[in-house]
């Protein structure tokens, strides 16, 4: 029987069934398509990745609401798996959040992260973070819950208060945010397993998102905790926002280093270990779908003109 669940309903189902549900951070068409092709059941946009890759700017609030929503629209329509989005602080006050939720929901994502930092925000592991009054954040969450049209659309309330108010202050906020209507909570920059355990104990029945920086060197805050252990603690979702951007930078750097060596030596080098094949690239970008559509809808003589007699057509007097 065909699955008739919406993407948002599927996301909620996954959050119940997979503990934890691993959600790689994506930032462009290649990364989101690759996450799906590799079997990941969900993904999430990385706000920092979008700001860095699209604007060549740090994650300090320069990426606008409409730029973010437009990028999410392109990514969400490119895959069949549920995609969540990073909506930063909602780009203003509760009224702005109301509109932001509608823009993101219309883009096709299944939910958003909404954080309690002072605007302009900072990347979660930067120094100097500030948080707004918890009462104001609760109003933002109430506005977000009011704005969404699909009841399954997920409001993931993130707090950056651990760095400012400690774990006790962060837990108080998360409890308030859940009471205000958040569907999932997200204590960013947890310091150790004990922080995770305390959050889980304090919020029974509420899905908890934990951020992990798999493979990121010199990470200043959250240590790596095994996925199995996070599952044992009851964590619903593990987000990995920086893994793919870091991997892409490293891969591009290695390829450019090889190119520089070729320039200096005057010799060419074949390094398939550093590069995806053209077949991999075209498959990921969906060229096969274009070929199928051409076969279905193009005139036979046009196909023959483009691709030659190998297609089996013989053109005579302009007709196949």
Q: Residue with structure tokens 């409890």?
A: 175
Q: What is the pTM of this model?
A: 0.90
Query: Is the C-alpha dihedral spanning 93, 96, 98, 104 positive or negative?
Result: negative
Per-chain mean pLDDT for the chain: 91
| Nearest partner of 231 among 23, 41, 44, 18, judged by Cα | 18
- Along the 320 residues of the chain, how does pLDDT read in single tens digits? 455 899 999 999 999 998 899 999 999 999 999 999 999 999 999 999 999 999 999 988 899 999 999 999 999 999 999 999 999 999 999 999 999 999 999 999 999 999 999 988 776 566 768 999 999 999 999 999 999 999 999 999 999 999 899 999 999 999 999 999 999 999 999 999 999 999 999 999 999 999 998 655 555 567 889 999 999 999 999 999 999 999 999 999 999 999 999 999 998 888 899 999 999 999 999 999 998 999 999 999 888 888 875 555 444 454 44
Sequence ranges of the domains in the chain = 7-242, 286-320
CATH architecture of the domain with residue range 7-242:
Alpha-Beta Barrel (3.20)
With a CB cutoff of 8 Å and minimum separation 6, the contacts of 172 are 134
pLDDT at 270: 86
Give the sheet arrangement for strand 237-240, strand by strand. Answer: 184-187, 154-159, 111-115, 83-86, 43-45, 21-26, 237-240, 209-211
């Amino acid at each position: 029987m065909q699955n008739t669940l919406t993407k948002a309903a599927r996301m909620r189902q996954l959050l119940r069934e997979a503990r934890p549900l691993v959600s790689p951070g994506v930032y462009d068409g290649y990364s989101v398509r690759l996450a799906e092709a590799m079997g990941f059941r969900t993904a999430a946009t990385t706000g920092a990745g979008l700001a860095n890759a699209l604007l060549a700017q740090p994650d300090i609030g320069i990426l606008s609401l409409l730029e973010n929503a437009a990028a999410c629209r392109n990514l969400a329509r490119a895959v069949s798996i549920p995609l969540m989005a990073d909506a930063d602080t909602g780009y203003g006050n509760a009224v702005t959040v109301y509109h932001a939720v509608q823009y993101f929901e219309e883009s096709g994502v299944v939910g958003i992260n909404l954080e309690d930092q002072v605007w302009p925000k900072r990347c979660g592991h930067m120094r100097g973070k500030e948080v707004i009054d918890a009462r104001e954040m609760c109003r933002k969450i109430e506005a977000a819950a009011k704005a969404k049209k699909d009841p399954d659309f997920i409001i993931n309330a993130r707090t950056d208060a651990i760095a400012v108010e400690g774990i006790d202050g962060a837990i108080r906020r998360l409890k308030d945010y859940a009471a205000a209507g958040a569907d999932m909570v997200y204590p960013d920059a947890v310091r150790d397993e004990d922080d995770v355990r305390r959050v889980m104990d304090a919020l029974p029945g509420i899905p908890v998102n934990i951020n992990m920086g798999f493979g990121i060197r010199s990470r200043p805050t959250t240590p790596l905790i095994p996925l199995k252990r996070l599952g044992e603690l009851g964590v619903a979702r593990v987000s990995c926002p920086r893994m793919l951007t870091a991997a892409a930078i490293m891969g591009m750097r290695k390829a450019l280093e090889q190119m520089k060596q070729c320039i200096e030596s005057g010799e060419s080098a074949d390094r398939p270990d550093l590069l995806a094949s053209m077949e991999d690239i075209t498959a990921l970008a969906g060229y096969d779908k274009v070929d199928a559509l051409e076969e279905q809808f193009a005139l036979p003589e046009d196909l023959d003109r483009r691709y030659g007699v190998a297609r089996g057509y013989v053109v005579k007097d302009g007709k196949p």
